[in-house]
Amino acid sequence: MDGHPSKAEILAALSLALDLVEGQPEGHAVRTCAIALKLADLIGFNEFERQDVYYAAILKDSGCSNNSVRIQKIFGGDEFISKRAVKTVDWTSPLASIRFAFEYTERGNGWGAKLRRMAANIGPPNAVMNQVTLARCTRGAMIARKLGFGETVAEAVHQLDEHWDGKGSPHGIKGRDLNPVGQLICLAQTAEVFAVTYGIPAAMEMVRERSGRWFDPELARAFLSLEEDTAFWNAFGAAHYRGIVPPGLRDAAAEADIDAICEAFAMIVDAKSSFTAEHSARVAGYAAGIGSQMGLGNDRMSLLTRAGLLHDIGKLAVSTAILEKPGKLDEAEFAAVQSHPMHSFVILQRIAGFDSIAEIASGHHERLDGKGYWQGLGADHLPLETRIMTVADVYDALSAKRPYREALPYEKCRAIMDADAGTAFDPECLEALWQSLESVPLAA
């Protein structure tokens, strides 16, 4: 590693990727965290409780990619638009949820397409959204546990959309039975969306109206006390992922923690599409196999593995409608896909010490002849680790099922890739891949 970021800082920086999945403006989770920590101070949380608030707020959307395919199939079109809009609607109201469904189902298409799509969904709009919320919250809680956090954080993530009156989702928990951190973050998240979308006065009015329904009245009063706190709202508007880390969470992350974060975000990325399950873990494994064959040392192997796990994090910015499209992509859709390595670079290079990981991860579609993307780099500008990553990624793409074709057998993958040795792929890296695959049994 080039530096020593804290676990809290790494997660805060990676939360910017989760903002992309939810269709929210960059910094949504960080700003939510700023509101949540302020509320925690106002109601007297101690240092350790504030730490739980921090991690739960930063990880609140860690299950969001798990429902991307489902939401896209429910509403059609670009799921980012539906996800962004649903946060401004009182979807617990049957009338509001029906209006939302009519507006956002097959948005931009005719009534026939809307009605056909709506008829294909089972149950009323709010019941359908409960199913989506259950998938998201269950997955998010699992991610929190994988990262080593306790049940307070995991339950807070799981109860993010539960409401004070018991009419929230997915289980209808109410009142004092609610996880207090989850209830706090529910208010903070909703207030952030309204403040950014409509302005601070609109956020205040929303909290007043939903006090006692969505939100604990005590929490609502604490939030409303901030109405004239100009200093807080100025800081809120400029909230930065490094600046919000509480003092007790600034120690350098252990190597095992960094590995766990990379593994967790690989799971988040791969859940974005039904065709990429475990893709990132396989790419990391193939890259490690190549690196081992080429005699790379422990530090370089660690970089390879982490870059492999995170190489597609930029795909969180690409609509599921594009990732799942069974036919040929049009020019705009292909441009969106080609942008994902750039997004990977932008996300990862913000983390102190992740410069090398960002370079390797974002280079997985570059070619030796300079005809790749996103930068069009040629052989002279492609380090060995990037060449390895390219080979590992393409092999997995060919050998796995995709929306537009079935998985290709090993012999076909090898023939295709060997034909591009020296132009797209480094011949030595290719040979190391074949050697590494031949040293272990091939999957049927």
Catalytic residues, by residue number, are 315
- Residue 172: CB atoms within 10 Å: 12
Closest Cα partner for 135 from 61, 67, 59? 67
Which amino acid makes up residue 261?
A: I
Q: Where are the alpha helices (DSSP H) in 87-150?
A: 94-104, 111-120, 125-146
- Partnered with residue 421 across adjacent β-strands are 425
User: 375 with 321: CB under 8 angstroms?
Assistant: no
Q: Distance (Å, rounded) from C-alpha 55 to C-alpha 268?
A: 16
Bridge partners, 369 (sequence order): 378
Contact 130, 169 (CB under 8 A): yes
Task: Give the Cα-Cα-Cα angle 347, 352, 355 (nearest 5 degrees).
Answer: 65
Confirm if 95 and 35 have CB atoms less than 8 A apart: no
Rounded Cα distance, 212 and 220, in Å: 8
Residue 168 · residue 192 · CB < 8 Å = no
Nearest to 347 by CA among 5, 8, 31, 11: 11
Report the alpha-carbon distance of residue 252 to residue 58 in Å, rounded. Answer: 18
Cα dist from 427 to 310, 412, 413, 415, whole Å:
24, 17, 15, 13
Distance of CA 312 to the CA centre of its chain: 11
User: CA 117 to CA 101: how far, in whole Å?
Assistant: 10
Question: Mutual orientation of helices 47-58 and 7-21 as an angle, nearest 10°?
Answer: 40
Cα angle, residue 130 at apex, residues 126 and 131 outer, rounded to 5°:
125
